[in-house]
Amino acid sequence: MAAAEGTHATWRRRRVAAAGVPAVILASFAHCGSASAAGLFISEMATPDLGTAASGRAAAADNAATAFGNPAGMTRIDGSALVAGLQGGYGIVSFDRGPETNVSGGNGGNAVGGFPGAGFYFVYSITPELKVGLSTGSNFGGALEYESGWSGRYYGTKEDLLTLGAYPVAAYKINDWLSIGGGAQIVYGMLNSKTSVRNVTTGGPDGQIQLKSSDVGFGGLAGVLIEPIEGTRFGVTYTSPVKLNFKQRPDLTGGGAVFAALDPRLSQADVDLGLTIPQTVMISGYHDLTPDIAIMGNLVWQNWNQFGQPTVEVTSTTQRKATTNLDYDDTWGIGLGGRWRFLPQWAWSLGFAYDSSPLSKSQRSAALPLDQQFRVGTGLQYALTEKATIGAAYEYVNLGEADIDRDRGLSGHLQGNYSTNEIHFFNVTLSWKL
């Protein structure tokens, strides 16, 4: 019996090793690295419009945050201005494993928790018709970390994609009803992806592959603002794709002899994982119903189909390059909001937004349990002086149940959903006319 078991174990090692370096790396990072940001555009950028769930962002143009929301809107700012904001968030993302899950382990605990944020927006007036601006902040990323040994560990244990962008822009007012603007995106991205690997050689402890890297990507953004009559305006903003290439030699830890048995070249393999932040089009409208009441809305398209085709290049003694099609769908969003100035110095805002899901349950991964999104925001603003306004806002984001039903060979079958999948955002802002 012992001889038979030894022969069987040797056969298993040879079968797995035959897959070679590229198969192991490509399976780990083409799936996990790309999924770490699937669908996670962040409209919450420490701006006053958190209180309207970002509804009307490309058309409101009533403070310096328009430098990012729609650079053409800077021409509506009298003189120069700035907005500074601090933001906090708390996410509750809890997986409930279903009966078809065949990997041992728990539910992973709360994979998010608390996280900080901030934003800064500045508009400088060269002439009343010509403005320049600068925005800094993050509008893309995600961070999840599950408890060790959870049942989805072969699909992801830690998936962090963090970005910080700088957006220099300029705008020009062509006539009384038309303004145009545009500029550059300079995005710094950091990726930290960890995935457990099943030890099929001895049945002992799992191994772990980690890719930790950073890169800077470049793109553009442009906007148009049309104001056919006073108090009614329409805005269109376009942000281009931004490519980030994460190049690093993966860190292989744990698992005893699992990686040596798979292929000794693993320790010498370099990975170049290419991810693309999707391009976006936002169309917004704004209308003053009365001197004290305004309504606003959004239509948003995001090109997730392009994002769902990451490139992975592995270099060891041989070189392999692959483009994986993860079958992402482009997403559509809609928003509606309003603002009421109920006292001369006080204004109250309220907004709702919806975004469709880029994935079905057969495509979704535990690396990012994202489904359709529902947002509800509300906020208050108080005019301290004619030039200074402070604000506070709250937004609730429901990310859906995010059903998962995946079966990927050695990773096992992961089935279940997220009974709680939500984020709570809070911010305080200062708007100042210089």
The model's pLDDT over 148-168, given as tens digits with 9 standing for 90+, comes to: 889 999 888 998 888 999 999
Task: Answer yes or no: are the C-beta atoms of 221 and 245 closer than 8 Å.
Answer: no
- Mean pLDDT is highest, among 50-64, 360-374, 400-414, for 50-64
Q: Residue 40 has what pLDDT? A: 64
- The DSSP bridge pattern shows strands 158-173 and 113-125 to be unpaired
Whether the predicted pLDDT of 323 surpasses 50: yes
Give the helix/strand (H/E) hosting 66. helix 66-69
Buried b (16+ CB within 10 A) or exposed e, 179-198: bbbbbebbbebbbbbbbbbb
- In 220-238, which positions are buried (b, 16+ CB within 10 angstroms) versus exposed (e)? bbbbbbebeeeeebbbbbb
Looking at residue 120, its pLDDT comes to 97
pLDDT for 21 equals 42
pLDDT tens track for 80-125: 999 999 999 999 999 999 999 999 999 999 999 999 999 999 999 9
- The predicted pLDDT at position 219 comes to 97
Which pLDDT score, from 0 to 100, does residue 253 have? 77
Q: Is the pLDDT of residue 273 over 90?
A: no
HSE of 377, CA atoms in CB hemisphere, 13 A: 33
Q: Which helix (H) or strand (E) holds 411?
A: none
Q: What is the pLDDT of residue 142?
A: 83
Structure tokens at 91: 């996410």
pLDDT band at 25 (very low <50, low <70, confident <90, very high): low
Residues 6+ apart with CB under 8 A from 139: 41, 42, 43, 45, 68, 163, 165
% of the chain residues with pLDDT over 70: 81
Tokens of 184: 């550059």
**pTM as predicted:** 0.88
User: DSSP assignment of 339-393, as one string?
Assistant: EEEEETTEEEEEEEEEE--S--TTT-BTTB----EEEEEEEEEEESSSSEEEEEE
Q: Which domains does the chain have, with CATH numbers?
A: 2-433 (2.40.160.60)
Q: How many CB atoms lie within 10 A of CB 78?
A: 8
Residue 318 has pLDDT above 90, yes or no: no
| pLDDT on residue 7 | 33
Cα separation, 423 vs 93, in Å, equals: 8
* Average pLDDT value for residue range 259-281: 76
In this predicted structure, the answer to whether residue 258 has a pLDDT above a threshold of 50 is: yes
**3 pLDDT band (50/70/90 cuts)?**
very low
Chain mean pLDDT for the chain = 85
Cα distances (angstroms) measured from residue 244 to each of 59, 210, 312, 348: 30, 18, 12, 39
Contact residues for 393 (Cβ-Cβ < 8 A; gap 6+): 48, 50, 51, 349, 377, 378, 379, 380, 425, 426, 427, 429
